[in-house]
Structure 1
Amino acid sequence: MSIKRVAIVGCGIGRSHIVEGYLPHPEKFKVVAICDLNEERLREIGDEFDIAKRTTSFADVLDDESVDIVDICTPPGIHLEQVVAALAVGKHVICEKPLTGSLSGVDTIMQAEKAAKGTLMPIFQYRYGDGIEKAKRIIEAGIAGKPYMGSVETFWLRTPEYYSVPWRGKWATELGGVLVTHALHLHDMLLHLMGPVSKVFGRVATRVNDIEVEDCASASLLMQNGAFVSLSCTLGSQEQISRLRLHFENVTFESNHEPYSPGKDPWKIIAANDEVQARIDAVIGDWQPVAPRFTTQMEHFHAYLSGNGPLPVTTRDARRALELVTAIYQSSDTGNEVILPIGSDSPKYADWRARTK
C-alpha cells in the first residue's frame, strides 16, 4: 500500500483535515508540506505536527514533485483558480466546500478534469458516520419504499466576531452565506439519501448580521422521486442543531442533532411494522463502525487512488449541491419556481449573487 504525500493549503480548516483525515491513517498518508499566508499559523501548525516544509507560496507547492495530493482549504473565492492550477500540473486535488461560486465555475473545473492526470475529490465529510450510512444501506436495499416527505434544518449561530475575518460575509470572497458555507453539508446529505431535485421555490435574506450574503433561507423542493422536502436554515439560532427527518413508505429516519456531526449515530430508524424491522435487522445486523467525517472520506479516497474502490465524492456531486444553491438564489430573486437542471441559459449560471436585503 503506497503512502500518499499531502500538501495542505490553508491551515485553518486544514488543521481538521490533518487531525481527522490524515493522522488516523499513517499507513496511507503523510502530510509533507503546509502552505498559508499567515506565517505565525504556519509555524504553529508545522511545529504541532512536525511538518518540515512550510511555505507562503502556492506555486512552491505545485512545483514540489514529491507532493501527490494538494488539499485546498483556502477561502472559497480562490478555490477555482487553485483547483485548476493543481490539476494542470498533474496533482490529485482535494478541495473544501464550496468547490466554487457558480455553475459556470464548476463546469470549468469539469473541463479541466478531462485533461488532468490527477483526480479531484470535493469535500462532503458529513456523508460519513454510522447513522447516515445505515440509512443509505436501508434505502439502497429497497426497504424504505416510496419517499414521501422530508425536512432539513440547519440552525446554527454566527456572531459579528465570526464575520470579523475579512473574507467572510462577502460575495466576492465567501461566495455566499448560510446556503453555501453552512447548510450545504446538510443539503448534500439530503441529495445523497433522496436523490436529485426537480423543482425549487426559495427565499433568502440577511437578518442576523450586517453582512452582504444571506444568513437566513428557506426552500420548498419537489424531488425527482416525487417527495416534498422543506429546507430551513439560519445563523441566528441560540441552540445550534442540524437535523434531517425523512419519511418513506416503510421507514422514517431522523438524524442526530449535533450541528457539526449529524452523520454519526444515534439516528432514529423507525420501521412501519415488525416485518420491516426484520428486513432492516437483516441488512445492518453485521454493521461495522464507520468513523465520521474526514476520517472515512480520506480513507475512501486512498482506496480509490489504490484501485480498491469508487471515488467517494465527485465533481458531479458538488455540482448537484451547488445547482440547488443556484436554484434557491434564482427563485428568491424572481419570485418564481425554478425547474432543474440548470444550464448556461440561467441568469444565475455565471454569477449567482442574490438580493438579500
Structure 2
Amino acid sequence: MSPQGPKTPLRTAVVGAGGIARGSHLPALRTLAEEGETEIVAAVDVDGAAVRTLAEEFAIPYASTDLDAMLAEVRPDLVVLCTPPAVHREQSVAALKAGAWVWCEKPPCPSLADYDAVEAVEAGADSAPYASIVFQHRFGSGAAHVRRLLREGAFGQPLVAHCQTTWYRDTAYYAVPWRGRWATEGGGPAMGHGIHQTDLLLDLMGPWSEVRGMAARLVHDVETEDVSTAQVRFADGAVATVVNSVLSPDEVSRIRIDCERATIELTHLYGYRNADWRITPAPGVGDEEAAAWQDFGADEPSSHLAQLRALAADIRAGRRHPTSGEGGRRTLEFITALYKSAFTDTTVRAGDIGPGDPFYTALHGDAPGWAPADAATDNAPTNDAPTEEAQA
C-alpha cells in the first residue's frame, strides 16, 4: 500500500472480539475516527456471535469469521490483531500479503522463529507495509522526555537500572484453560505481563549484551513460570535487574535508572502520566538545569491511543514504526534469552539464539521440567484459539 494522503482515513480492520479489542483498541480507533484519521471498516473473530455483537456495538459495517475473505473483500489499510499469540504469525503474514499494515497485540509471537517468519514477508516486499507490536509505554510524553534527555547525555552515563513488574493473579485467573500455557498465553509473567516494562527499559537503556535469569513456579499449577528474575548487562556497561511476578499482592510497575548526574524513576501500574515520573538530580547539578529536566510538556498518558497516533503518522509516511522489525524483535529476543538462561543455568548473550537452537522455535526450549508433554505440537498455530487476549 502506498502512503495515505493527509486527509484520507486509514481503513482499519479489527481481528479478535475479546476484552482487549473492546477495552483498548476500539476506543482508540474511534477517537481517531472522530478526527478523520481512521475508519473502522471490518471486524473478524472465529466466534460468529461475538463478532456480530461487536460490529453492532461499534457500528462496524463488515463482520466475518473468515480473515482471508475479509482481506480479499474489504482490502483494509491497517489490520489490528487483538488475538492470542498462537495465531499472530499466520494472521500477520496473511494481512501483509494482502497489502495491509499490521498492529499486533503483545506478546508478538510465541517464538523468534515466528517473528522472523513475519519479517521475511516484509523483507520480500519492495517497500511497506510493515508489522508492528503494541508497546504503548514507549509513547507517553514522560518516556519521550526522558528518552530525549538520555540520548542527549543530559544525565550522564546510565549506570544501574531496575525494572519491576510485580502483579497479582489468583487461582481463578489460571482456571481459564488457555492461561499458563506456552502455546496460548505465550509465556508466564516475563512474556505476558512484564513485557511492557521490559520493552520500555530496553528502549531507554539501549542495546543489551547479556542476561542471566532465574524462573520458578512457586504458587500456580501451570506450564509456564509464575515469577522470574534476571541480571542484565548493557552494551555500554550499565547493569540492571528485571523482576516479573504474578505473586505480589502489592501490585506495582516500576523502572529506576541511576545515571552519573540523576536518578530517573517511574512508578505506576498499567499506564503512566507525567506525574508518575520523578527525576532526582545529583549533587552539583545546577538549579536551572534541574528545573528544565522537570518540564515534561503536555501530558500524554501511555496508551494504545498514544501509540496509534504515532503509527498512523508512520503509515502515512510509509516508514517503519519504532516497534516494527528490529525495534520489536530486540524485546522478544531479550525475553527468549531470559528463559533460556533460566532453564539452562547459563549466561545468554545477544545474538546467541538462532536457527537450530531449541529456544529459537519455542520459549520453553524443550527444557526438562518446563516443556509441555505435547511440546512437538503445542506451538502450532490454531484457528480455534480464544478470542480474548491475556489480561494485561
Q: Equivalents in 2 of 1:341, 1:306: separation in Å?
A: 33
- Aligned partner of residue 246 in structure 1, secondary structure: strand
Aligned twin of 1:101: 110
CA positional deviation for 1:309: 7.2
Q: Equivalents in 1 of 2:51, 2:117: separation in Å?
A: 31
Aligned twin of 2:165: 154
- Aligned partner of residue 199 in structure 2, secondary structure: helix
CA positional deviation for 1:191: 0.3
Is 2:101 the counterpart of 1:92? yes
Q: CA deviation digits over 1:79-132, x for unaligned, max 9?
A: 111111111111111111121111222221111111245221211012122322
- Preserved CA contact (<8 Å) 1:219 1:230: yes
Aligned twin of 1:54: 63
Aligned twin of 1:349: 360
- Preserved CA contact (<8 Å) 2:43 2:62: yes
Q: Equivalents in 1 of 2:26, 2:129: separation in Å?
A: 24
Equivalent residue for 1:238, pick from 249, 260, 265: 249
Is 2:46 the counterpart of 1:33? no
Aligned twin of 1:215: 226
Percent identity among equivalent residues?
32
Is 2:185 the counterpart of 1:185? no
Unaligned runs of 5+ in 1: none
Q: Note closer, same or farther for the CA distance 1:276–1:98 as it changes in structure 2 (3 Å cut).
A: farther
TM-score normalised by structure 2 residue count: 0.85
Aligned twin of 2:177: 166
CA positional deviation for 1:298: 0.6
CA positional deviation for 1:215: 1.2
Bigger shift: 70-79 or 126-135?
126-135
Q: CA deviation digits over 1:195-254, x for unaligned, max 9?
A: 111111101112232111111100111111111100111111112210111111111111
- Preserved CA contact (<8 Å) 1:8 1:14: yes
Q: Equivalents in 2 of 1:179, 1:262: separation in Å?
A: 20
TM-score normalised by structure 1 residue count: 0.93
Q: Note closer, same or farther for the CA distance 1:55–1:153 as it changes in structure 2 (3 Å cut).
A: same
Bigger shift: 330-339 or 218-227?
330-339
Aligned twin of 2:21: 14
Q: Equivalents in 1 of 2:196, 2:102: separation in Å?
A: 20
Q: Note closer, same or farther for the CA distance 1:233–1:276 as it changes in structure 2 (3 Å cut).
A: farther
Is 2:9 the counterpart of 1:3? yes
Bigger shift: 207-216 or 156-165?
156-165
Aligned twin of 1:204: 215
Number of aligned residues: 356
CA positional deviation for 1:39: 3.4
CA positional deviation for 1:346: 3.5
Q: CA deviation digits over 1:141-189, x for unaligned, max 9?
A: 2101111101111111112322233322111222211111111111000
Is 2:279 the counterpart of 1:269? yes
- Aligned partner of residue 32 in structure 2, secondary structure: coil
- Preserved CA contact (<8 Å) 1:205 1:356: no
Is 2:328 the counterpart of 1:328? no
CA positional deviation for 1:194: 0.3
Equivalent residue for 2:328, pick from 308, 311, 318: 318
Q: Equivalents in 2 of 1:245, 1:166: separation in Å?
A: 36
CA positional deviation for 1:286: 7.4
Bigger shift: 277-286 or 335-344?
277-286
- Preserved CA contact (<8 Å) 2:142 2:296: no
Q: Equivalents in 2 of 1:153, 1:255: separation in Å?
A: 10
Q: Equivalents in 1 of 2:222, 2:241: separation in Å?
A: 25
Bigger shift: 277-286 or 89-98?
277-286
- Aligned partner of residue 306 in structure 1, secondary structure: helix
* CA RMSD after TM alignment: 2.1
Q: Note closer, same or farther for the CA distance 1:262–1:292 as it changes in structure 2 (3 Å cut).
A: closer
Unaligned runs of 5+ in 2: 1-6, 372-392
